[in-house]
Amino acid sequence: GAGVSQSPRYKVAKRGQDVALRCDPISGHVSLFWYQQALGQGPEFLTYFQNEAQLDKSGLPSDRFFAERPEGSVSTLKIQRTQQEDSAVYLCASSPRQGQGSYGYTFGSGTRLTVV
């Protein structure tokens, strides 16, 4: 596709439920990033993939958060045993080169997760 696609757009989960959020990056983009954006705040870095390798997961808030990109294209962010503080918009971005700062770095529209 022409842009970064995320699904679902909205997800309501009961506390304790597991959720999986999907990101389809722009075709050919080697770098993929996940961010968490709380209401009224800027995006906070979660994790970074270069192709299928997860090079940085320093932003994942707990071991309940897990991300994968097994074939170097589509990525899934999984949150286990969701808690209310996990409620946020989860943004995915991809880039044609290594790192966040390259030109062509593009965000998806995000998945809004609400934990009730």
Residue ranges that bind other proteins, judged by CB under 8 A: 4, 40-45, 91, 93, 98-103, 105, 107-110, 112
- Based on the number of CB atoms within 10 Å of its own CB, is 85 exposed (0-12), middle (13-18) or buried (19 or more)? exposed
> Which of residues 9 and 78 has its CB atom nearest to other proteins in the complex?
9
Q: Tell me how far, at minimum, the Cβ of 100 lies from other proteins, in Å.
A: 4
Measure the CA–CA gap between 77 and 94, rounded to whole angstroms.
14
Question: Helix, strand or coil for residue 86?
Answer: helix
> Which of residues 1 and 70 has its CB atom nearest to other proteins in the complex?
1
> Which of residues 38 and 116 has its CB atom nearest to other proteins in the complex?
38
Q: Tell me how far, at minimum, the Cβ of 69 lies from other proteins, in Å.
A: 18
- Of 29, 79, 78, 69, residue with least CA distance to 49: 69
Q: Tell me how far, at minimum, the Cβ of 101 lies from other proteins, in Å.
A: 4
Measure the CA–CA gap between 91 and 52, rounded to whole angstroms.
18
> Which of residues 66 and 107 has its CB atom nearest to other proteins in the complex?
107
Helices (H) and strands (E) in the chain, counts: 0, 11
Q: Tell me how far, at minimum, the Cβ of 110 lies from other proteins, in Å.
A: 5
